[in-house]
Amino acid sequence: MSKGLNTHHQQEISKFLKFFRSRLATHIENIEAEFDDTLSDRLSSDDVYSQKDVTDVLKSLCFAVKANARSELQDTINMTALLLRQVFHEAQDNRMTMELDTGIVEDKDMLEKVERLSVAEWAADERREAKKVVAKPTHDEEFETVQKENQNLRQRLEQLQKDCSKALKEKQRAQDDMDELRQAAHASRHVDALERELKESRDIIAEYERSAKEANQHITQTKQFQQLKKMVAQKNESLKDLRKRLLKYEPDADCDVDDDE
C-alpha cells in the first residue's frame, strides 16, 4: 500500500486511516445507542406485543439506523473530497497533474491490504507512543521545570535588584565622601588664608614695634631731647636746694621734702 512512498507520506496515510477509524468507532457507538434506546423506550420484557407493534418498532429502528449511516457516509465522502482537493492544490502549485483511478478503491485485495496495513501501523504507532511516553517528560514535569526556571529567574532578578540598590548606596556614600573632601579642602584653604593673614598681621605689628622703638631711640638721642632732659634735671636740683633752705625756717616741711625726693 505504502510501497514507493517516503516516510512523510506514509505518516500522512496513517494519519488519514486513524482519523476515519476513529469516526467509524463513533458511528458504531451511535448505532448501538439507537438499539439501546429502542429497547428501553419501546420494548419491555413484561409486555406482550402484537405483530403490528413489533413491525412499527422495527421500522422506526431501521429509519434511525439508515439516517445515522447515511449521515456518516455523506460526511466521509465530503471529508475525502476536501482532502483530495488539498492534494490537487499542492500538485498544481508544483505544476503536476494528477488523475484518480476509482477502480482501485473497489479492489477487494487492495482493501484487505489497507485493512492489514492500518492495523499493523496502529500497533506500531502504539508501541512508539509508549516509548515516547517513557522518554518524554509529562506535562506536570514540564510545568515543574518551568516553575523552577521561573523561580530561579525571580531569585536572580531579586539579587540583581539588591546589587543595584547596594551599588546606588555605595555611589551615594562615595558622593558624600567627595563632598566632605571638597568641603575639607575648602576649609583647609580658608585656614591657610587666615594663617597667612595672621602672619602678615604679626609681621606688620612687629614692624610697627620696631618702628616705634627706633622712633623712641631717635627721639632720646636728639639734641632737643637732651637739652630738655638737662633742663628738667637742673630744675629738679634747684627745687631740692630751695626746699633745703626752707627747712631752716620751716622744719615741718621736712616731710614734704622727703616725699618729693
Q: What is the tens place of the pLDDT at every residue in 210-243?
A: 877 777 666 666 777 777 777 888 888 888 888 8
Interval 107-147: pLDDT, tens? 888 888 877 765 555 555 545 555 554 444 555 666 677 77
Q: What are phi and psi of 46, to 5 degrees?
A: -90, -15
> Any idea where the domains of the chain sit in the sequence?
7-100, 224-261
Closest CA to 75 of 22, 126, 149, 151: 22
Q: Which three cell numbers stand for residue 81?
A: 473530497
Q: Does pLDDT of 3 surpass 60?
A: no
Q: What pTM value is reported for the model?
A: 0.39
Determine the distance from the C-alpha atom of residue 165 to the mean position of all C-alpha atoms in its chain, rounded to a whole number.
Answer: 14
pLDDT bin (cut points 50, 70, 90) of residue 2 is very low
Q: Residue with C-alpha cell 460526511?
A: 75
Q: What is the pLDDT of residue 220?
A: 65
Q: For 33, list phi and psi in degrees, rounded to 5.
A: -65, -35
Q: How far is CA 38 from CA 24, 27, 66, 127, 253, in A?
A: 22, 17, 15, 40, 174
What does the mean pLDDT of the chain come to?
Answer: 76
At 121 the pLDDT is 59
- Which of residues 171 and 137 earns the better pLDDT score? 171
If you average pLDDT over residues 141-169, what whole number do you get? 77
Q: Which residues of 176-211 are buried (b: 16+ CB within 10 A; e: fewer)?
A: eeeeeeeeeeeeeeeeeeeeeeeeeeeeeeeeeeee
